[in-house]
Amino acid sequence: MVLKTPYYMAELFLEIGSEELPSAYVQPALDYMNKELSSFFSKNRIEAEVPKTMGTPRRLVISVKGVMAMQKDSVDEFLGPGISVAYDDQGQPTKAATGFARGKGIDVSDLTRKQTPKGEVICARVENKGRVTSSLLNEYLPQLISEIPFPKKMRWQSKSRPFARPLHWVTALFEGQALQFEFDGIANDAISRGHRFLNPEKFQVKDLESYLVECEKHFLVVDPDIRKKTILEQVQQLAEKAGGHIKDDEELLNMVNFLVEFPVAIKGNFDSGFLELPQELLVITMKYHQKYFPVWGKEEKLLPCFITVSNMPASEGNEIQKGNERVLRARLEDARFFYDEDRKKKLEDFVEPLKGVVFQKKLGTIYEKVSRVTDLAGILASEVCPQKVTQARRAAELCKADLVSQMVFEFPELQGIMGGYYASHSGEDAEVAQAIKEHYRPTFAGDDLPSSDSGASVAIADKLDTIIGCVGVGLIPSGSEDPYGLRRHALGILQIVLDRGWQLSFQNLVENGLNLIANKAKLNKDEIKKHVEDLFSQRYKTLLNGEGFPYDAIDCVLSTGMDSIVDVKAKVKAFSDLKKQPYFEPLAIAFRRVASILDKKVDGEIDPGLLNESAEKQLYAAFLKLRDPVLSHIKNKEFSSALEKMGEIKPSVDDFFDNVMVMVEDPTLRANRLCLLRDISGLFSDLADFSKIVLKKS
């Protein structure tokens, strides 16, 4: 007989069974359970392997192998009062010492002494004997289940604890034995359940291995990775049989993956006449409303079929296929009716009704917003694409018109897209129609950007008006709160400007936006500017960090201002490249010495006649030699060359500080030397603030 040590390893298995959870709830719940259970073992001095999570809409599963059967012993050390306070002149413990010992649960004679930076103090060492892991789990697992952070919880029937859906069973085992706890009246047991329809019988669970064997018998594919792969293979095969293909769509695949326990792909068909409707409408209806995979043919044209993923095999009468076809047909019939009705009017006929649609109660109607966006888009286009001012203004005038159409009322995801189609039907210029269709872009991370100058102008104007307007009435993002998506809008503007390489004045653009919103604003101009600039600066940092640029290189450039969005990125790149050079740190130190002494504004001009020290004469000569080439490089946007050229002044700067006293008593000499340093600092102050650089040597 082999005796187990107190620290032998065992397996924890937990399954939480419920009614079908919403697809979007499952993976976040599994991630939370993984993180919290790992943290629990770590905090409780219990060694364990990395948890494995699995799940379906009806079950959340986590298994942890290599779990110590008993937590490790520990010794906690507590420092008490100083020796002079703890003992009297005869060396006897005082009330302070006895009280401290009693509070820690030990005898005063067990106190020790310890030397600290504040002197010698008394010390209590408290031994904590490890508890049996199963006992700790009995206490913790009900808490874990209760605290899973679903987006929405409810209390079901007579249950007292809220959960996303009604709970039916809890299966928690340690060392192959059911743990002894209950959750909200549901006693833990070593029993699980099979597929609701295909094999709903209960089955015994011993560990993860036996569980997976039984799952296969009971039509359960609990591993999300295996289920996802199965779905993808089945869908691709059916699409190929139909003469088409499906597009990569991780979002839809993940959504469908957590809708089923036993995936079976089924192809359905729809009337080819519906292909006359906008493709975006068909895709949104199939993907978001029905969770179907659209099938694409040649030249990126949709085929009149779809693929759904069922939770059970197709029946002999193809009832699952027919049922899905009926549902899709009904939705597309409605869509065709709305489409035909909307096209009985011109798009511009929908503009006037926007006067009755509130954008935001403090900012007025959508009609008022459109008026501001039109003016702002015109101002922007006149600066960056003057040949497209007419198209940009016309697109802005019509960009929100489809919001009052029947189609967008029924399918709000199509706003902008339908406006583009209706603009084309109304005889508007092709670029105007395209600009309307894409002016909301980018709407999410990785989304396409506007493809035309007109579309980009309207997109920027629309987003900037929302940012300035919301900030102007006090709706400023804080923490995770950003109900109007101002951070996303700011990031979108930055991405569009960088994509098109537009050299425009960000300050002037904000100023124009402020003028247009002035009659609505509650904050003063300077306050609004500050909040808007901070918002864009933070978003730009996030964007550049995501591209791998060093955070201090980003900070040192953004600290000098952000008038040209395009130049900021070019400067950050140039500065990041400079940081890689072996001579960078000595150069940065030299420039920081120049900047650090200029703590106040320095007036006046350099008087060469007052330069009486050899080192300051040499520095002035080096400055004159470099000034014009550096300014020329900056003017031509050759920032790397400018920084490289400026590096040539380093030896003269070092020699100056080694041999010249700047803050001399003579006010005339002191002012002249400060003017020299000010002009040198001015050469690089538009490129970077060297005080923000993190130096290894410091």
Which of 53, 54, 61 lies closest to 192 in space, CA to CA? 61
3-class DSSP state of 398: helix
Helix or strand run (H / E) with residue 645: helix 639-646
Residues 149, 170 within the same domain: yes
> How far apart are alpha carbons 339 and 333 in whole angstroms?
10
Residues 196, 313 within the same domain: no
What pLDDT is stored for residue 604 in this prediction? 84
> How far apart are alpha carbons 405 and 408 in whole angstroms?
6
Residues 372, 318 within the same domain: no
Q: What are phi and psi of 130, to 5 degrees?
A: -65, 145
Helix residue ranges per DSSP H, 172-249: 208-217, 224-241
Residues 432, 502 within the same domain: yes
Q: Which domain holds residue 542?
A: 348-547
CATH of the domain at 493: 1.10.3210
What pLDDT is stored for residue 264 in this prediction? 97
Residues 392, 498 within the same domain: yes
3-class DSSP state of 694: coil
CATH of the domain at 675: 1.10.730.10
What pLDDT is stored for residue 472 in this prediction? 94
Q: What is the CB neighbour count within 10 angstroms for residue 293?
A: 27
The structure tokens listed for 128 are: 């904590």
> How far apart are alpha carbons 14 and 29 in whole angstroms?
13
Question: Under 8 Å CB-to-CB from 244, ≥6 apart: which residues?
Answer: 295, 296, 297, 303, 305
Q: Is residue 553 part of a domain?
A: no
Question: Under 8 Å CB-to-CB from 319, ≥6 apart: which residues?
Answer: none
> How far apart are alpha carbons 86 and 98 in whole angstroms?
8
What pLDDT is stored for residue 5 in this prediction? 54
Residues 325, 387 within the same domain: no
Q: Is the dihedral of CA 599, 601, 603, 606 positive or negative?
A: positive
Tell me which of 217, 233, 263 is where a domain ends: 217
> How far apart are alpha carbons 178 and 607 in whole angstroms?
90
What pLDDT is stored for residue 282 in this prediction? 96
Q: Is residue 566 part of a domain?
A: no
Indicate the residue type of 239. A
Q: Does pTM surpass 0.85?
A: no
Q: Is 429 exposed, middle or buried (0-12, 13-18, 19+ CB in 10 A)?
A: middle
Q: Is residue 565 part of a domain?
A: no
Residues 407, 318 within the same domain: no
Residues 500, 375 within the same domain: yes
Residues 254, 204 within the same domain: no
> How far apart are alpha carbons 236 and 250 in whole angstroms?
14
Tell me which of 342, 365, 382 is where a domain ends: 342
Q: Is residue 1 part of a domain?
A: no
> How far apart are alpha carbons 322 and 315 in whole angstroms?
11
Q: Over the chain (698 residues), what is each successive 10-residue block's mean pLDDT?
A: 57 97 97 97 94 97 94 89 91 92 90 90 88 94 96 89 95 95 94 95 95 97 97 97 95 96 97 95 94 94 96 86 96 95 96 96 95 97 96 97 96 95 96 96 90 96 96 88 91 96 94 94 93 94 92 88 91 88 80 76 85 89 90 90 87 87 87 86 80 68
What pLDDT is stored for residue 656 in this prediction? 86
The structure tokens listed for 536 are: 């864009």
CB 20 within 8 A of CB 218: no
Q: What is the DSSP letter of 173?
A: E
Domain count, the chain: 5
Residues 484, 509 within the same domain: yes
Residues 460, 528 within the same domain: yes
According to DSSP, the residues that pair with 15 across neighbouring strands are 61, 171
- Residue identified by tokens 């000569």 is 621
* DSSP string of 420-452, one letter each residue: HHHHHHTT--HHHHHHHHHTT---STTPPPPSS
Q: Is residue 99 part of a domain?
A: yes
Tell me which of 87, 102, 126 is where a domain ends: 126
Q: Is residue 557 part of a domain?
A: no
Q: Is residue 4 part of a domain?
A: no
Q: Is residue 164 part of a domain?
A: yes
What pLDDT is stored for residue 60 in this prediction? 98
What pLDDT is stored for residue 8 in this prediction? 65
CB 434 within 8 A of CB 309: no
Based on its alpha-carbon atoms, the radius of gyration of the chain, rounded to whole angstroms, reads 35
Residues 301, 438 within the same domain: no
